[in-house]
Structure 1
Amino acid sequence: MQIIIYGLILGLVITTFRWLRRRRNAPRFQALAERYGGTYAPKAQARAERFAGVEWATEPRSPDVHDYLCGNYQGHPFYCFGWEYSTRGAMGDGESGGVRVVRSVYTVQLPCYVGHFSVRKHSSARRMFGQNDVQVGHPEFDEQFTVNGHEPLAAQQVLRGSLVEFLLNDSRSKDYPLWFLGDRLLCSFTDRFSPPDVEPALEFMAQVIGTLDRTETPAESRSVLEEDVVPLSG
């Protein structure tokens, strides 16, 4: 009985803490939405199938997300949100429990279609085991970064020149793993989504886009950002 009581008390404390945090952050997110000429929704629904192959897309259904913010940053349409999910038991496989994961997700529209692949600066431990699917032909970059994807030629075409030099020399590369998903650039990392973190992440992504060697002109009516997340009413 005592264990049940302690569990209820702990649950109440956690719920209250989350409510207070959300109440504090909501006006700050709203201020960012006004600043970026966009909108803010406390809750929204993401289409997980839009992110097929991404390691954090663990649920087959369309999951609920928190603090959905969209707008335009330095001429780049974007959205971002917080996501909490369980690493086990999320696919109806009968497992219970699991580890609860908190993530921040940022997506920015790219100027053109670039293919599907991921870029992550890896640790020295991972460096020992040869994690790369793709070698881009730059020895220093291939040694320090992990590039995975089903379109190696696309990755090799994009990861060159000023973009490679930027990723090698910018210390933020280790904090912001990137996924190039067609005509979107996605950054997702394990951390609670909060207003002070929005602009630093968007600034890094805008600089990544600014260093791209644009070999293709922007396509008309190709923007798909509005199809990824649907704000929920109420």
Structure 2
Amino acid sequence: MELLVGILVKVLLFAVIAGLFTLVITMSVRGRRQEARIRNEWEQIAQIAPERGWTYHPCTRGQIDQYGGMGPILYKGENQAAWHYTTGEFRGRPFTYFEYRYKRSTVDGDVNDFGEHRRLVIKAVFIITAPGSGSYMEILRRSKLGAVLDGRPGKRVGVPEFDKEFKVLVKDEDFFQNALSGGVVPFMLADHRAKKSPLRFRDNELITWYTGALSPQTVDEKLNYLCDVLDRIPAQAWTAA
């Protein structure tokens, strides 16, 4: 009996080691495939800009300093780097998009000089010029984690489905009322892009972002989404701001 138990223990131990070994190989293969896919998409990003008459810079510094400390661009500072920095015109509106990168502490990842594990985080940011200047306003998806990190309740628009799904942070009541008095609310409730595209109004700009690398598909998706939102904001929202 003891011999049988010993054999079973050895078999189970071998199975665990083999499983872990297989998992490591699988994760490594997936990582290499993902890295290859991202690099291929970066190459496409560099190609589509001149094809569409846009201006592209692999990396530039100082162009995004004014956005520091807000949303995806966590840190304030001078000469901040922006990768794949692209400008041009989309559906008749000036735009900018780029990648913002920083490292955060994790249980794994690269180790810095202080022995801390740091993992690279990429944020893809898209900015469209609005018809006029407006006040600060953010429309964010409600989540349990967001409620913990940001306790601000936000303004309610009076549409239960929207107020349950989204949180609106504002500084100016008039701009809030005017901007959301048109078709923005029903549009966001019906459009799947709204669930993964936070919005920020900043002066004469409308901004969205996501965590991850740029790709040709997301460029068209996000720029179209920003234009679709602006198309549904009443003209008086800008004249009143």
TM-score scaled by structure 1?
Answer: 0.71
Change (3 A) 1:134 1:21: closer
Aligned length: 198
Normalized per residue, which structure has more strand? Answer: 2
Q: Which runs of 5+ in 1 are unaligned?
A: 1-13, 89-93, 220-234
Q: Please tell me the root mean square deviation across aligned C-alpha atoms, in Å.
A: 3.3
1:175 equivalent in alignment to 2:209: no
Distance 1:205 1:105 in 2: 12
Distance in 2, Cα, partners of 1:67 & 1:170: 28
Query: Which amino acid in 2 is paired with 1:189?
Result: Y
Where do 5+ consecutive residues of structure 2 fail to align?
1-30, 106-113
Residue 130 of structure 1 and its aligned partner are, at CA, apart by 7.8
Matches within 5 A, 1:17-166: 22=39, 24-25=40-41, 27-51=43-67, 54-61=70-77, 62-87=79-104, 97-123=117-143, 132-166=153-187
Identity across matched positions, percent = 24
Q: Shift of the alpha carbon at 1:153?
A: 3.4
SS in structure 2 of the partner of residue 183 of structure 1: strand
The structure having more radius of gyration, on CA atoms, is: 2
1:172–1:48 Cα change, 3 Å: same
- Please give the per-residue CA displacement for 1:22-48, whole angstroms capped at 9, x wherever unaligned: 5x4455224322343221111112455
Q: CA deviation digits over 1:5-29, x for unaligned, max 9?
A: xxxxxxxxx9xx979955x445522
2: CA distance between counterparts of 1:173 and 1:124? 18
Q: Partners of 1:169 and 1:127 in 2: how far apart? A: 24
Render the CA deviation track for 1:155-209: whole Å, top value 9, x for unaligned: 2321222111111111110111111111101111111112232111111111111
Structure ranking higher in helix proportion: 2
Higher relative contact order, chain-length normalized (CA < 8 Å, sep 6+): 1
2:195 maps to a residue whose letter is K
Matches within 5 A, 1:2-13: none
TM-score normalised to structure 2 length? 0.69
3-state SS of 1:113 partner: strand
Q: Which moved more, 1:104-113 or 1:37-46?
A: 37-46
**Equivalent residue letter for 1:66:** W
Instruction: Provide the C-alpha distance between the structure 2 equivalents of 1:127 and 1:169, rounded to a whole number of angstroms.
Output: 24
